[in-house]
Chains A and B, each alone.
Chain A
Amino acid sequence: MEFDVVIGLETHVELHTDTKLFCGCSSKFGSEPNTQTCPVCLALPGALPVMNRIAFNYALKAALALNCKINNLTHFDRKGYYYPDLPKNFQISQNYNNLGTDGFIDLIMEGQNKRVTLHNVHLEEDAGKLLHPEESNADYSFVDFNRAGIPLLEIVSNPDIQSVEEAEAYMQTLRSILHYINISDCKMQEGSLRFEASISLKESGVTELGNRVEIKNLNSVRSVIKSIEYEINRQSNVLNQGGVIHRETRLWDDKNQKSERMRSKEESQDYRYFPEPDLVPVIIEKSLLGDERASIPELPMCRLKRFMENYKLSFYDANILIQDIFIADYFDECTKDYHEPKAISNWIINEVLRYLNENKINISGFNIRPKMLTELIKLVEDGVISKAAAKSVFMEMALRGTNANVIVEEKGLVQISNTNELESIVADIIKENEKVVTDFKNGKKNAIGFLVGKIMQKTKGKANPKVVNEMLENMIKQ
């Protein structure tokens, strides 16, 4: 039987504020356990939460960037459940009056227009972290509350995602939007970006949705994809054998690449939500809304379209350039100085990004500023230096932060494009290689490459290969 895949994704994003959501503790990652705690985030008796305005504004910005309707009067609710990493045994979250509702994300996918609608976007606090001892028979665990109270943005999609590819595009697009609006460092390995998937299958053509299965413990984009693939497989096997899918929550085991049942729907929790009485409702003034809206830069999808339309870049190239807002800015900056977008794009994708990756640095710390790169590209395009020479110039520039022309001069890399200078060398090579010349005359076109190589050897790579090529052809014909 053929099945349609129905996927919804829940995303938790840690906002990179300096302090926690309801107290003044630092939200820095990686400190000694329980050194960033206070009566509020440890839920000591008598302590009260006070909302971090900056975190709220970040969340608002995200809700706007994700095309949500904004509730001008929003409030927090308590979500009750018992777990040792949750100090109050309730989480301050939102349920009845979410910050943003009915948003959408247009996925960045080649040749497809796919819109995933969002149920809501809301702000809540993170929980602490359980640390289990190494020995398997230990009857205790530790809790680190440094993370407890860090602001989290939750983005809940509707079940609009219909394939693994769309799920992947959703995660990539969302991640780059969050990156563009600069509210999170989105590091999955540090837990600042986390996904939960819910998956169901339905018979093709049938409108009624199947029972959905939720997958938790997904620590990378890869594990989300693997777990979805696994789940699609598992569910279609069950259904094809006449079985039934039960509504349940499953835990992904990344090591063994499979999921296991965690709890069934019957065991699911009643969170007993009610409005948080220790916090007052937040009224969103028009001016704040305007300020936050104005602070949103051109978002990835718009940039992609602009790069493709204005610069005639391929989807592939444009998509690479827009992944990181600072790379995209760098590219834009380059095109101001020099209108050869394709050449610039090639240089950034092939050389700049490789250099950044290999040396693990950010574009902001990269020695070659846009104007310097375009000068280098111009030298190549104008035939002043060869492509091969340009690459070594590039490395020098990246290391020293020196302009291209300085390095070219220092190393004497200027190409010989003057035909007068080259004439005797070309003539000598033709004379010395009569057999190859005959081959060429007899139609063996690539024989000319051998001759060019010889000339390059003789000029120590300085001869302009384009000019040499032309000269060879002309002189052999004579």
Chain B
Amino acid sequence: MHLYEFTALQIKEKIKSGETLAQEVIKELLDRIKVKDPDIGSYLSINENALSKACAIDDKIKSGQTVGALAGIPIAIKDNICTLDLKTTCGSKVLSSFLSPYNAHVVECIEKEDGIIIGKTNLDEFGMGSTTEHSGFKVTRNPWDLQRIPGGSSGGAAASVAADISFLSLGSDTGGSVRQPASFCGVVGLKPTYGRISRYGLVAFASSLDQIGLISKDVADTALLLQVICGYDNRDSTSLQKDVPKYIEQLDSIEKKFKIGVPKEFFANGLNEEISKSVNEALDVFKKNGAEIVEMSLPHTEFGVAAYYIISAAEASSNLARYDGVRYGYRTQNCKNIIDMYERSRSESFGNEVKRRIIMGNYVLSTGYYDAYYLKASKVRTLIKNDFDKAFEKVDYIISPTTPVPAYKVGEKVSDPLEMYLLDTYTIPANLAGIPGISIPCGFTNNGLPIGMQIMGRHYNEQGLLQVARKFESETDFHKIKPKFNAT
């Protein structure tokens, strides 16, 4: 078995025990990235210092010093999370040469625990897109079928984990950008409760929805990384002052009896039959293990996508206003005056999907439209939140498919943004409500594409999600099946 095939937790144990050197892991991984990533396109940059960091950790272990919880684990970071050592491009020409003068909170946490940043992964520009076709630099492909999209916007993060060219990845999830690509790539993707992980250093797309998420080979690996990166940070005003449980230690201490709600709105028209079948089979697994399954309703689900695209576009239009070419980032070569400079710099550097959202966002915030769009959408958001609050009075978890369809082909729907927006139908509600959600592999389509199941829980109950997901893993083997691409 190759080193890259192990999970992060396994590789850490090997490194810590001295069975394997961190530098061996890094060397092997870098070699593999060189060979495999050209087909996938998951990385935008590779950390040249990874090997020397690994050597430093090896020295620490050799000399008997204590090492951190992530000792020697190579971790890939979505390129909208700020790193001192590597460019942070956000998949945008605007920031193609941008070097952040500071590390994001999560990067600080990882480095403090001796994790090694291996590289930065591709994304739809600024996280806007669901396919990773909307990067300003390249398209990322799905390791299960190179003709297909890996999902997005954290497509590079998910594809790299699925292809065994990273052990763990950090992504960001505004409307499903971690869970949906995790589902398409057959890996685990967690979006924690809004505020669980500090957003300091996450380049904002839609501030009230953005949350850093994790992508891993199995549930234990997610628990391992979550432990390190979550918790209160005073640099993010929306960061939660809540105690952090011991995720790994309690991974298997699941409550005997729990109730799973199955919202009928998530199984309605538009859901692919194979996916529906897989998720229902997954529910049977829980049933066999003593869970109570109840059908229920989240009545405002159908308005989620509309509300989401209004709120997220509004916030995006404002968050992206700073890319004006004045202080940093792309600036046009020729311009007549300052207004002209703004217009040309932004027109020449933003991609179409980003432009579409900026225009939409400015529109819904304009005088005369604010009440009809932004305010209305905010009210819908409250209704969706209330739906969940009510539901969680009766059930402990809500399970649904992660996506209505499996990964489609690259270029297939690139001219139809609405079709793309619908990919996030099932993931958006958790962002609007601020609750945690996890996607785990639960089957395959007839032509071998992964199917993901989403488990949502109460605010702050990441622990419960991990335990339920772990229970499913222990009863099934879907997470162990690797794409053929990995072997060749």
A277 to B367, CA, bound (A): 19
Q: B100 CB to closest chain A CB, in angstroms? A: 7
**Please, what's the 1-or-0 string for B316-359, where 1 marks a CB less than 8 Å from any CB in chain A?**
01100110101110000000001100100000000000000000
B199 neighbours in A (Cβ, 8 Å)? 46, 48
Q: What are 17 contact pairs spanning A and B, CB under 8 A?
A: A39-B100, A42-B327, A45-B95, A47-B200, A50-B234, A50-B237, A80-B365, A272-B367, A273-B365, A274-B314, A274-B318, A274-B365, A277-B206, A277-B238, A278-B207, A278-B237, A278-B238
- State the 5 A-B residue pairs at the shortest beta-carbon distance, nearest first: A89-B321, A277-B208, A272-B365, A277-B207, A45-B203
A33 at the interface (CB under 8 A from B): no
For B202, give its contact among A46, A49, A51, A78 (CB under 8 Å).
A46
Q: B79 CB to closest chain A CB, in angstroms? A: 11
B362 at the interface (CB under 8 A from A): yes
**Please, what's the 1-or-0 string for B166-206, where 1 marks a CB less than 8 Å from any CB in chain A?**
00000000000000000000000000000000011111101
Q: A421 CB to closest chain B CB, in angstroms? A: 79
Contact of A280 with B237 in the complex, beta carbons under 8 Å = yes
Contact of A43 with B82 in the complex, beta carbons under 8 Å = no
Nearest residue, chain A, Cβ from B94: A45
Contact of B202 with A80 in the complex, beta carbons under 8 Å = no
**Please, what's the 1-or-0 string for A6-50, where 1 marks a CB less than 8 Å from any CB in chain B?**
000000000000000000000000000000000100111111111
B6 at the interface (CB under 8 A from A): no
B234 neighbours in A (Cβ, 8 Å)? 50
For B366, give its contact among A44, A143, A272 (CB under 8 Å).
A272
For A46, give its contact among B204, B317, B327, B328 (CB under 8 Å).
B204
Q: A188 CB to closest chain B CB, in angstroms? A: 28
B198-236 residues with Cβ-Cβ distance < 8 A to A are 199-204, 206-208, 234-236
**A43-B327, A278-B207 given as contacts; is B318 within 8 A of A90 (CB)?**
yes
A278 neighbours in B (Cβ, 8 Å)? 204, 207, 237-238
Nearest residue, chain A, Cβ from B126: A45
Q: Which secondary structure dominates where chain A touches chain B?
A: loop
A39 to B26, CA, bound (A): 32
**A39-B102, A80-B321 given as contacts; is B326 within 8 A of A45 (CB)?**
no
A309 at the interface (CB under 8 A from B): no
A129-144 residues with Cβ-Cβ distance < 8 A to B are 143
B100 neighbours in A (Cβ, 8 Å)? 39, 44-46
A44 to B339, CA, bound (A): 21
Contact of A49 with B237 in the complex, beta carbons under 8 Å = yes
A84 at the interface (CB under 8 A from B): yes
Q: B136 CB to closest chain A CB, in angstroms? A: 14
Q: B113 CB to closest chain A CB, in angstroms? A: 21
6 further A-B pairs in the complex, CB-CB below 8 A; given A45-B204, A80-B318, A89-B322 = A82-B342, A89-B321, A272-B317, A272-B367, A278-B207, A280-B237
Q: How many positions in chain A have a CB within 8 Å of any CB in the partner chain?
A: 28
Nearest residue, chain B, Cβ from A141: B338
A103 to B464, CA, bound (A): 51
Q: A262 CB to closest chain B CB, in angstroms? A: 15
A88 neighbours in B (Cβ, 8 Å)? 321-322
Nearest residue, chain B, Cβ from A40: B235
Chain B residues near A (Cβ < 8 Å): 81-82, 88, 90, 95, 98, 100-102, 104, 199-204, 206-208, 234-238, 314-315, 317-318, 321-322, 324, 326-328, 338-339, 342, 362, 365-367, 370, 374
A43 to B321, CA, bound (A): 10
A84 to B104, CA, bound (A): 26
A461 at the interface (CB under 8 A from B): no
A90 to B338, CA, bound (A): 17
Contact of B326 with A84 in the complex, beta carbons under 8 Å = yes
For B324, give its contact among A44, A82, A280 (CB under 8 Å).
A82
A470 at the interface (CB under 8 A from B): no
B235 neighbours in A (Cβ, 8 Å)? 48, 50
Q: A100 CB to closest chain B CB, in angstroms? A: 22
**A89-B322, A274-B370 given as contacts; is B82 within 8 A of A45 (CB)?**
yes
A51 to B235, CA, bound (A): 10
A80 to B61, CA, bound (A): 53
Contact of B203 with A46 in the complex, beta carbons under 8 Å = yes
A47 to B235, CA, bound (A): 9
A78 to B315, CA, bound (A): 10
A89 to B327, CA, bound (A): 12
A353 at the interface (CB under 8 A from B): no
A171 at the interface (CB under 8 A from B): no
A87 at the interface (CB under 8 A from B): yes
Which of B82, B234, B326, B366 has the most A CB atoms < 10 Å from its CB?
B326
A399-445 residues with Cβ-Cβ distance < 8 A to B are none
B201 neighbours in A (Cβ, 8 Å)? 46-47
B367 neighbours in A (Cβ, 8 Å)? 270, 272
B315 neighbours in A (Cβ, 8 Å)? 274, 277
A89 neighbours in B (Cβ, 8 Å)? 321-322, 324
A279 at the interface (CB under 8 A from B): yes
A272 to B375, CA, bound (A): 12
Nearest residue, chain B, Cβ from A276: B207
Q: B350 CB to closest chain A CB, in angstroms? A: 14
Nearest residue, chain B, Cβ from A79: B318
A143 to B324, CA, bound (A): 14
A90 neighbours in B (Cβ, 8 Å)? 318, 321
B206 neighbours in A (Cβ, 8 Å)? 277
A42 to B342, CA, bound (A): 17
A288-341 residues with Cβ-Cβ distance < 8 A to B are none
Nearest residue, chain A, Cβ from B378: A275
Q: A379 CB to closest chain B CB, in angstroms? A: 61
B327 neighbours in A (Cβ, 8 Å)? 42-43, 87, 143
Q: B34 CB to closest chain A CB, in angstroms? A: 29
Contact of B324 with A46 in the complex, beta carbons under 8 Å = no
A48 neighbours in B (Cβ, 8 Å)? 199-200, 235-237
Nearest residue, chain A, Cβ from B234: A50
Nearest residue, chain A, Cβ from B325: A84
A408 to B317, CA, bound (A): 76
B90 neighbours in A (Cβ, 8 Å)? 45
A50 to B208, CA, bound (A): 15
A44 to B328, CA, bound (A): 8
A340 to B328, CA, bound (A): 67
Contact of B237 with A46 in the complex, beta carbons under 8 Å = no
A170 to B328, CA, bound (A): 43
A39 to B327, CA, bound (A): 11
A272 to B82, CA, bound (A): 28
Nearest residue, chain B, Cβ from A81: B321
Contact of B238 with A280 in the complex, beta carbons under 8 Å = yes
A78 neighbours in B (Cβ, 8 Å)? 318
Nearest residue, chain A, Cβ from B81: A46
B81 neighbours in A (Cβ, 8 Å)? 46
A279 to B239, CA, bound (A): 10
Q: A197 CB to closest chain B CB, in angstroms? A: 24
A333 to B349, CA, bound (A): 67
Nearest residue, chain A, Cβ from B343: A82
**A50-B234, A277-B207 given as contacts; is B362 within 8 A of A272 (CB)?**
yes
B342 neighbours in A (Cβ, 8 Å)? 82
A44 neighbours in B (Cβ, 8 Å)? 100-102, 328
**Please, what's the 1-or-0 string for A44-77, where 1 marks a CB less than 8 Å from any CB in chain B?**
1111111100000000000000000000000000
A49 neighbours in B (Cβ, 8 Å)? 237
Nearest residue, chain A, Cβ from B98: A45
A80 neighbours in B (Cβ, 8 Å)? 317-318, 321, 365
B324 neighbours in A (Cβ, 8 Å)? 82, 84, 89
A78 to B317, CA, bound (A): 11
B203 neighbours in A (Cβ, 8 Å)? 45-46
Contact of B202 with A274 in the complex, beta carbons under 8 Å = no
**Please, what's the 1-or-0 string for A114-130, where 1 marks a CB less than 8 Å from any CB in chain B?**
00000000000000000
A42 neighbours in B (Cβ, 8 Å)? 327
**A45-B98, A46-B81, A46-B100 given as contacts; is B237 within 8 A of A272 (CB)?**
no
A476 to B88, CA, bound (A): 102
Q: B313 CB to closest chain A CB, in angstroms? A: 11
A304 to B208, CA, bound (A): 50
